[in-house]
Structure 1
Amino acid sequence: MKLLQVDFEYQGAMGDEMSKALVDLAESINQEEGLIWKIWTENESDKLGGGIYLFADEASAKAYLEMHTARLKSMGVANVRGIIFDINLPLTKINQGPLFKG
């Protein structure tokens, strides 16, 4: 498994307004190859949007990051930061990471 962290400057709606506006996008993300889950992130005071994604493998995470970066750039987002991480499973388990729930 690979964790993908993405963030970027975001001038659009946040909170409830964002939740309503981006339902179709959220549903389409569920169809991405290798996606296990996504946590949407937003920071209204710093005007940042992004997400934390869990993918089944590095190839899926890289492919999604490439596609998502291109999509964001086509929407006028100049700088997209995406980092793929390995997960330290023993320590994550100690802290009840969502990989070990249910």
Structure 2
Amino acid sequence: MTTLLQVHFAFEGPFGKEMAEALQGLAESINQEPGFISKIWTESQEQKEAGGIYLFEDQASAKAYLEMHSARLKQFGVEQVHAKFFEVNEALSKINHGL
């Protein structure tokens, strides 16, 4: 079943255009992750947070990605990653152009 992964963490920047330029390679690499469907990047300069909303083909792929991504973020100095998993109701999501 399609799984949504919601992730956020403390982030000091960069934000906006600078973030897009700095993280383009990372964004491109995410497309190669097993089971990956899509990601919406999230950021709040005011709250000093960043993260994303991901769709994966299944929960196993989402969990594997979170484990790898959390370890990568730790190498960048991120101490705590907040994450939630949700099953996607595909029938209702299609009505609202979600899938």
Common fold by TM > 0.5? yes
Please report how far the alpha carbon of residue 12 of structure 1 lies from its aligned counterpart in structure 2 after TM superposition.
Answer: 1.7
User: Matches of 1:12 and 1:45 in 2, distance apart?
Assistant: 11
Q: Using the alignment, how far apart are the partners of 1:89 and 1:59 within structure 2?
A: 18
**Matched pairs, number:** 98
| 1:39-94 Cα deviation digits (max 9, x unpaired) | 11001100110001100111100000000011111111111011111012233233
Match of 1:92 in 2: 93
- What does residue 33 of structure 2 align with? 32
Which stretches in structure 2 are left out of the alignment for 5+ residues? none
Partner residue of 1:58?
A: 59
Amino acid corresponding to residue 67 of structure 1 in structure 2 = M
Provide runs of 4+ in structure 1 moved above 4 Å: none
CA RMSD between the two structures: 1.0
**Structure 1 unmatched ranges of 5 or more:** none
Q: Name the TM-score, length of structure 2 as normaliser.
A: 0.93
